[in-house]
């Protein structure tokens, strides 16, 4: 029987960015030892690398599995001083601890690493797209960055990922869309006409309302507009 926090193996990912130069997502207490991540602006995969580096200074680890869940191991109890536990997919609040558990695995997809069952993209006509969106939804998509391409991504999400997607971390600001899991992302490189399997990095302009695509409400389809960096 599958665990409650299992979901099908993803074929793509949306990664958000975390800024550890300001309070919020940078602290964990490992059985009385306060650990703080080095200041930086990290994509989710590099954030986990930095978290692993910091945990290692006190005998711990932070890794990801094939589903993108974070597995963090330290000394019990680990206390989630700020929102670091939440951003790695644990259903915890600041001040909660792990009790007698020295290892914790994400309870759901991390809000800054959304697994995708499928993803496809196309370029859009910026002027027409903005006019349609303002007319139908009474709002624009946001700012365009110079002459950057605007790309439409069609996303298919498992219901387990939908809650984390709706938390909104990857619905604004800078994101990366990649076919590589967090543990394999270091081998990825930017998309180009000669590297069509590479990742695409940009800024979110808007998201479609979305819909269920099956009667069991297991799969959700939506579209994301991104201004390519």
Supply the pLDDT for residue 138: 40
Supply the pLDDT for residue 3: 52
pTM: 0.88
35 DSSP 8-state letter: E
DSSP result, 40-109: -EEEHHHHHHHHHHHHHTTT-EEEE-TT--EEEE-SSPEE--SSHHHHTT----TT-B-TT-SEEE-SS-
d(CA 28, CA 181) in angstroms, rounded, equals 24
| Tokens, residue 161 | 């990922």
3-state helix vs strand vs coil in the chain, percent to 5: 20, 35, 45
d(CA 96, CA 63) in angstroms, rounded, equals 21
Across residues 148-167, what is the average pLDDT? 94
User: Could you tell me if 69 and 94 are in contact, meaning their C-beta atoms sit under 8 angstroms apart?
Assistant: no
| Tokens, residue 11 | 């074929």
In terms of Cβ atoms closer than 10 Å to its own Cβ (0-12, 13-18, 19+), residue 102 is middle
CB atoms within 10 A of CB 109: 28
Across residues 2-8, what is the average pLDDT? 69
d(CA 106, CA 219) in angstroms, rounded, equals 21
pLDDT band, residue 196 (cuts 50/70/90): confident
User: Could you tell me if 58 and 74 are in contact, meaning their C-beta atoms sit under 8 angstroms apart?
Assistant: yes
Write out pLDDT tens, residues 55-77.
999 999 999 999 999 999 999 99
Average pLDDT, the chain: 89
Write out pLDDT tens, residues 110-135.
999 999 999 998 887 655 444 444 44
Stated as kind and residue range, the H or E segment containing 36 is: strand 33-36
């Amino acid at each position: 029987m599958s665990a409650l926090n299992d979901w099908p193996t993803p074929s793509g990912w949306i990664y958000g960015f975390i800024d550890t130069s300001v309070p919020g997502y940078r602290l964990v207490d490992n059985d009385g030892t306060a650990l703080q991540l080095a200041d930086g602006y990290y994509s989710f995969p590099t954030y986990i690398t930095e978290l692993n580096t910091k945990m290692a200074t006190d005998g711990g680890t932070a890794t990801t599995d094939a589903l993108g869940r974070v597995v963090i191991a330290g000394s019990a109890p680990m206390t989630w001083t700020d929102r670091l536990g939440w951003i790695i997919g644990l259903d915890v609040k600041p001040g909660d601890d792990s009790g007698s558990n020295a290892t914790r695995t994400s309870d759901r997809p991390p809000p800054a690493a959304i697994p995708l069952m499928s993803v496809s993209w196309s370029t859009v006509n910026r002027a027409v797209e903005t006019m349609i969106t303002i007319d139908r939804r009474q709002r624009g998509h946001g700012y365009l960055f110079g002459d950057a391409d605007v790309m439409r991504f069609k996303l298919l999400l498992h219901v387990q990922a939908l809650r984390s997607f709706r938390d909104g971390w990857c619905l604004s600001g800078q994101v990366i869309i990649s076919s590589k899991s967090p543990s394999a992302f270091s081998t990825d490189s930017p998309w180009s006409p000669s590297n069509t399997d590479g990742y695409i990095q940009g800024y979110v302009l808007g998201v479609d309302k979305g819909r269920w695509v099956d009667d069991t409400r297991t799969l959700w389809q939506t579209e994301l507009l991104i201004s390519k960096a």
